[in-house]
Structure 1
Protein backbone atom coordinates (compact mmCIF):
# COMPACT_ATOMS: atom_id res chain seq x y z
CA UNK A 1 0.00 0.00 0.00
CA UNK A 2 1.59 3.25 -1.18
CA UNK A 3 -0.80 5.77 0.42
CA UNK A 4 -3.75 6.05 2.77
CA UNK A 5 -7.10 7.79 2.41
CA UNK A 6 -8.66 8.59 5.78
CA UNK A 7 -12.34 9.49 5.36
CA UNK A 8 -14.51 10.65 8.19
CA UNK A 9 -18.05 11.60 9.00
CA UNK A 10 -19.05 11.93 12.64
CA UNK A 11 -17.85 13.47 15.89
CA UNK A 12 -14.21 14.12 16.77
CA UNK A 13 -14.37 12.67 20.30
CA UNK A 14 -16.00 9.40 19.25
CA UNK A 15 -13.58 9.00 16.34
CA UNK A 16 -10.61 9.45 18.72
CA UNK A 17 -12.08 6.87 21.13
CA UNK A 18 -12.56 4.37 18.32
CA UNK A 19 -9.05 4.88 16.97
CA UNK A 20 -7.54 4.40 20.44
CA UNK A 21 -9.71 1.36 21.25
CA UNK A 22 -8.39 -0.38 18.14
CA UNK A 23 -4.81 0.90 18.59
CA UNK A 24 -5.16 2.57 15.17
CA UNK A 25 -3.88 5.91 16.47
CA UNK A 26 -0.47 4.35 17.15
CA UNK A 27 -0.49 2.25 13.96
CA UNK A 28 -1.40 5.26 11.81
CA UNK A 29 1.21 7.46 13.51
CA UNK A 30 3.91 4.85 12.87
CA UNK A 31 2.93 4.55 9.19
CA UNK A 32 2.38 8.27 8.50
CA UNK A 33 4.87 10.02 10.77
CA UNK A 34 7.43 7.24 11.24
CA UNK A 35 7.47 5.73 7.73
CA UNK A 36 6.32 8.91 5.93
CA UNK A 37 3.44 7.18 4.11
CA UNK A 38 1.30 9.80 2.31
CA UNK A 39 -2.21 10.22 3.71
CA UNK A 40 -5.25 12.17 2.55
CA UNK A 41 -7.75 13.00 5.29
CA UNK A 42 -11.29 13.94 4.28
CA UNK A 43 -13.56 16.10 6.49
CA UNK A 44 -13.34 14.59 10.00
CA UNK A 45 -10.37 12.57 8.74
CA UNK A 46 -8.52 15.87 8.21
CA UNK A 47 -9.70 17.34 11.52
CA UNK A 48 -8.23 14.38 13.40
CA UNK A 49 -4.77 15.50 12.20
CA UNK A 50 -5.08 18.55 14.51
CA UNK A 51 -3.62 18.88 17.99
CA UNK A 52 -7.07 19.25 19.57
CA UNK A 53 -10.77 19.83 19.02
CA UNK A 54 -13.44 21.74 20.95
CA UNK A 55 -16.23 19.55 19.56
CA UNK A 56 -18.23 18.05 22.49
CA UNK A 57 -15.56 19.21 24.98
CA UNK A 58 -11.79 19.48 24.63
CA UNK A 59 -10.19 16.42 23.02
CA UNK A 60 -6.68 15.61 21.84
CA UNK A 61 -6.16 14.79 18.16
CA UNK A 62 -3.35 12.96 16.41
CA UNK A 63 -1.26 16.18 16.52
CA UNK A 64 0.28 15.67 13.09
CA UNK A 65 -0.43 19.28 12.07
CA UNK A 66 -0.36 21.83 14.90
CA UNK A 67 -3.72 23.54 15.28
CA UNK A 68 -7.17 23.21 16.75
CA UNK A 69 -10.64 22.39 15.51
CA UNK A 70 -13.23 24.98 16.58
CA UNK A 71 -16.92 25.69 15.97
CA UNK A 72 -17.71 27.84 12.93
CA UNK A 73 -18.86 31.22 14.20
CA UNK A 74 -19.87 33.83 11.63
CA UNK A 75 -21.27 37.29 12.18
CA UNK A 76 -23.33 36.97 9.02
CA UNK A 77 -26.62 35.37 8.12
CA UNK A 78 -24.94 32.16 6.97
CA UNK A 79 -26.21 28.97 8.64
CA UNK A 80 -24.08 26.47 10.53
CA UNK A 81 -23.47 23.74 9.56
CA UNK A 82 -21.82 24.94 6.38
CA UNK A 83 -23.48 22.66 3.82
CA UNK A 84 -23.22 23.00 0.07
CA UNK A 85 -20.95 24.13 -2.72
CA UNK A 86 -18.25 26.71 -2.12
CA UNK A 87 -15.35 28.08 -4.16
CA UNK A 88 -11.91 27.58 -2.70
CA UNK A 89 -8.85 29.74 -3.12
CA UNK A 90 -5.78 27.62 -3.69
CA UNK A 91 -2.60 28.64 -1.86
CA UNK A 92 -0.47 25.61 -2.80
CA UNK A 93 -1.07 23.84 -6.09
CA UNK A 94 1.10 20.76 -5.56
CA UNK A 95 0.19 18.05 -5.15
CA UNK A 96 -3.58 18.17 -4.47
CA UNK A 97 -4.67 20.88 -6.87
CA UNK A 98 -2.35 20.59 -9.86
CA UNK A 99 -5.24 19.36 -12.04
CA UNK A 100 -7.77 21.96 -10.77
CA UNK A 101 -7.89 25.69 -11.42
CA UNK A 102 -8.15 28.35 -8.72
CA UNK A 103 -11.62 29.21 -7.37
CA UNK A 104 -12.90 25.70 -8.09
CA UNK A 105 -16.08 24.44 -6.37
CA UNK A 106 -16.19 21.65 -3.79
CA UNK A 107 -18.99 20.30 -1.60
CA UNK A 108 -18.77 21.05 2.15
CA UNK A 109 -20.70 19.68 5.13
CA UNK A 110 -19.28 20.70 8.53
CA UNK A 111 -19.89 22.70 11.71
CA UNK A 112 -16.28 22.81 12.93
CA UNK A 113 -13.15 23.98 11.14
CA UNK A 114 -9.39 23.52 11.45
CA UNK A 115 -7.47 26.61 12.61
CA UNK A 116 -3.75 26.25 11.97
CA UNK A 117 -0.70 28.24 10.96
CA UNK A 118 -0.95 29.72 7.44
CA UNK A 119 2.14 27.70 6.45
CA UNK A 120 0.01 24.52 6.60
CA UNK A 121 -3.03 25.90 4.73
CA UNK A 122 -3.10 24.81 1.09
CA UNK A 123 -6.53 26.30 0.32
CA UNK A 124 -9.32 28.21 2.00
CA UNK A 125 -12.91 29.28 1.41
CA UNK A 126 -14.96 32.27 2.43
CA UNK A 127 -18.04 31.55 4.56
CA UNK A 128 -18.60 34.76 6.47
CA UNK A 129 -15.07 34.12 7.76
CA UNK A 130 -12.06 32.54 6.11
CA UNK A 131 -12.18 28.78 6.67
CA UNK A 132 -9.35 26.36 6.04
CA UNK A 133 -10.42 24.17 3.12
CA UNK A 134 -7.26 22.04 2.97
CA UNK A 135 -3.99 21.51 4.79
CA UNK A 136 -0.65 19.92 4.06
CA UNK A 137 2.52 19.22 5.96
CA UNK A 138 5.13 17.01 4.34
CA UNK A 139 3.29 13.73 3.54
CA UNK A 140 0.09 14.66 5.45
CA UNK A 141 -2.73 16.15 3.35
CA UNK A 142 -6.28 16.94 4.35
CA UNK A 143 -9.42 18.49 2.89
CA UNK A 144 -12.42 19.80 4.79
CA UNK A 145 -14.71 19.35 1.81
CA UNK A 146 -15.91 16.07 0.31
CA UNK A 147 -14.10 15.33 -2.97
CA UNK A 148 -16.17 12.15 -3.36
CA UNK A 149 -19.27 14.37 -3.64
CA UNK A 150 -17.61 17.08 -5.73
CA UNK A 151 -17.92 15.58 -9.23
CA UNK A 152 -15.12 16.39 -11.70
CA UNK A 153 -13.24 18.65 -9.25
CA UNK A 154 -13.14 15.85 -6.69
CA UNK A 155 -12.00 13.28 -9.23
CA UNK A 156 -9.21 15.64 -10.31
CA UNK A 157 -8.12 16.05 -6.68
CA UNK A 158 -8.01 12.27 -6.12
CA UNK A 159 -6.09 11.82 -9.38
CA UNK A 160 -3.59 14.52 -8.35
CA UNK A 161 -3.05 12.93 -4.94
CA UNK A 162 -2.70 9.39 -6.29
CA UNK A 163 -0.41 10.50 -9.12
CA UNK A 164 1.87 12.24 -6.59
CA UNK A 165 2.40 9.00 -4.68
Structure 2
Protein backbone atom coordinates (compact mmCIF):
# COMPACT_ATOMS: atom_id res chain seq x y z
CA UNK A 1 0.00 0.00 0.00
CA UNK A 2 1.41 3.37 -1.01
CA UNK A 3 0.98 6.01 1.64
CA UNK A 4 1.20 9.63 0.63
CA UNK A 5 1.56 12.73 2.71
CA UNK A 6 -1.42 15.05 2.81
CA UNK A 7 -1.25 17.58 0.02
CA UNK A 8 -0.16 21.08 0.79
CA UNK A 9 -3.20 23.13 1.69
CA UNK A 10 -2.44 26.80 1.38
CA UNK A 11 -5.30 28.82 2.74
CA UNK A 12 -6.02 32.39 1.70
CA UNK A 13 -6.67 34.74 4.60
CA UNK A 14 -8.74 37.87 4.09
CA UNK A 15 -9.05 39.46 7.55
CA UNK A 16 -6.77 40.36 10.42
CA UNK A 17 -8.62 37.95 12.70
CA UNK A 18 -8.01 35.09 10.23
CA UNK A 19 -4.33 36.08 10.14
CA UNK A 20 -4.18 36.17 13.96
CA UNK A 21 -5.88 32.77 14.25
CA UNK A 22 -3.53 31.23 11.67
CA UNK A 23 -0.53 32.69 13.52
CA UNK A 24 -1.74 31.16 16.77
CA UNK A 25 -2.28 27.78 15.10
CA UNK A 26 1.21 27.84 13.58
CA UNK A 27 2.85 28.89 16.85
CA UNK A 28 1.04 26.09 18.66
CA UNK A 29 2.45 23.51 16.22
CA UNK A 30 6.08 24.62 16.70
CA UNK A 31 8.24 22.02 18.42
CA UNK A 32 11.77 23.09 17.45
CA UNK A 33 11.75 26.64 16.12
CA UNK A 34 9.54 29.65 15.56
CA UNK A 35 10.73 32.52 13.37
CA UNK A 36 8.94 35.86 13.03
CA UNK A 37 9.78 38.53 10.46
CA UNK A 38 7.71 41.70 10.55
CA UNK A 39 8.01 45.46 10.47
CA UNK A 40 6.79 45.67 14.09
CA UNK A 41 5.32 43.17 16.47
CA UNK A 42 1.76 44.11 15.58
CA UNK A 43 -0.27 43.90 18.79
CA UNK A 44 -3.38 42.78 16.90
CA UNK A 45 -1.53 39.72 15.63
CA UNK A 46 1.16 38.88 18.16
CA UNK A 47 -0.41 39.91 21.46
CA UNK A 48 -3.10 37.24 21.57
CA UNK A 49 -2.72 35.36 24.85
CA UNK A 50 -2.79 31.99 23.07
CA UNK A 51 0.06 33.12 20.78
CA UNK A 52 2.14 34.35 23.73
CA UNK A 53 1.50 31.08 25.60
CA UNK A 54 2.64 29.05 22.58
CA UNK A 55 5.83 31.15 22.35
CA UNK A 56 6.46 30.73 26.07
CA UNK A 57 5.90 26.96 25.93
CA UNK A 58 8.38 26.57 23.07
CA UNK A 59 10.92 28.91 24.67
CA UNK A 60 10.84 27.02 27.98
CA UNK A 61 10.97 23.62 26.28
CA UNK A 62 14.21 24.28 24.38
CA UNK A 63 17.43 25.85 25.67
CA UNK A 64 18.80 26.92 22.28
CA UNK A 65 16.89 30.16 21.52
CA UNK A 66 14.13 28.45 19.56
CA UNK A 67 12.21 31.71 19.08
CA UNK A 68 13.75 34.43 16.96
CA UNK A 69 12.07 37.67 15.98
CA UNK A 70 13.40 40.00 13.29
CA UNK A 71 11.88 43.47 13.04
CA UNK A 72 12.29 46.40 10.70
CA UNK A 73 10.93 48.94 13.19
CA UNK A 74 11.20 47.50 16.72
CA UNK A 75 10.49 50.87 18.33
CA UNK A 76 6.78 50.15 17.90
CA UNK A 77 7.15 47.03 20.07
CA UNK A 78 8.58 49.22 22.81
CA UNK A 79 5.95 51.98 22.51
CA UNK A 80 2.99 49.59 22.31
CA UNK A 81 3.27 47.15 25.17
CA UNK A 82 3.76 43.78 23.55
CA UNK A 83 3.71 40.60 25.57
CA UNK A 84 6.20 38.85 23.27
CA UNK A 85 8.71 41.66 23.89
CA UNK A 86 8.10 41.42 27.64
CA UNK A 87 8.55 37.65 27.49
CA UNK A 88 11.78 38.07 25.52
CA UNK A 89 13.06 40.45 28.18
CA UNK A 90 12.49 37.76 30.82
CA UNK A 91 13.76 34.81 28.72
CA UNK A 92 16.79 36.43 27.08
CA UNK A 93 18.56 33.16 26.29
CA UNK A 94 15.42 31.59 24.79
CA UNK A 95 13.88 34.38 22.72
CA UNK A 96 16.05 36.61 20.56
CA UNK A 97 14.89 39.84 18.94
CA UNK A 98 16.94 41.71 16.39
CA UNK A 99 16.49 44.78 14.22
CA UNK A 100 17.26 44.92 10.53
CA UNK A 101 20.14 47.26 9.82
CA UNK A 102 19.36 50.34 7.80
CA UNK A 103 21.44 49.42 4.78
CA UNK A 104 19.40 46.29 3.96
CA UNK A 105 16.61 46.64 1.41
CA UNK A 106 13.22 47.10 3.02
CA UNK A 107 10.86 44.18 2.45
CA UNK A 108 7.14 44.90 2.32
CA UNK A 109 6.11 41.43 3.52
CA UNK A 110 5.91 39.69 6.88
CA UNK A 111 6.01 36.01 7.78
CA UNK A 112 5.94 33.44 10.56
CA UNK A 113 7.54 30.00 10.20
CA UNK A 114 7.39 26.96 12.46
CA UNK A 115 9.84 24.07 12.14
CA UNK A 116 10.55 24.62 8.42
CA UNK A 117 7.17 23.13 7.58
CA UNK A 118 4.38 25.60 8.31
CA UNK A 119 4.17 29.25 7.47
CA UNK A 120 2.02 32.33 7.42
CA UNK A 121 2.94 35.03 4.94
CA UNK A 122 1.48 38.48 4.40
CA UNK A 123 2.57 40.10 1.11
CA UNK A 124 2.10 43.51 2.75
CA UNK A 125 3.03 43.59 6.43
CA UNK A 126 0.34 46.14 7.27
CA UNK A 127 -2.25 44.40 5.12
CA UNK A 128 -5.20 42.24 6.00
CA UNK A 129 -4.47 39.50 3.49
CA UNK A 130 -2.20 36.53 3.73
CA UNK A 131 -1.66 32.88 3.10
CA UNK A 132 -1.15 30.09 5.64
CA UNK A 133 0.03 26.59 4.87
CA UNK A 134 0.35 23.87 7.50
CA UNK A 135 2.18 21.58 5.04
CA UNK A 136 4.19 24.12 3.05
CA UNK A 137 7.71 22.78 3.52
CA UNK A 138 9.13 24.18 0.27
CA UNK A 139 7.94 27.74 0.88
CA UNK A 140 8.70 27.53 4.62
CA UNK A 141 12.31 26.55 3.84
CA UNK A 142 12.63 29.35 1.28
CA UNK A 143 11.34 31.88 3.80
CA UNK A 144 13.64 30.46 6.47
CA UNK A 145 16.63 30.95 4.15
CA UNK A 146 15.57 34.57 3.63
CA UNK A 147 15.21 34.95 7.40
CA UNK A 148 18.69 33.52 8.07
CA UNK A 149 20.31 35.89 5.57
CA UNK A 150 18.60 38.89 7.14
CA UNK A 151 19.33 37.63 10.68
CA UNK A 152 23.06 37.54 9.94
CA UNK A 153 22.97 41.24 9.05
CA UNK A 154 20.69 42.32 11.89
CA UNK A 155 21.60 43.87 15.21
CA UNK A 156 20.34 43.64 18.75
CA UNK A 157 18.05 46.55 19.47
CA UNK A 158 19.15 48.24 22.70
CA UNK A 159 15.70 49.49 23.72
CA UNK A 160 14.33 45.96 23.68
CA UNK A 161 16.79 44.80 26.32
CA UNK A 162 15.92 45.11 29.97
CA UNK A 163 18.68 45.82 32.44
CA UNK A 164 18.59 43.41 35.37
CA UNK A 165 20.07 45.20 38.36
TM-score bucket (shorter structure): 0.3 to 0.5
TM-score by length of 2: 0.33
Which structure dedicates a bigger proportion of its chain to helix?
Answer: 2
Which structure dedicates a bigger proportion of its chain to strand?
Answer: 1
TM-score by length of 1: 0.33
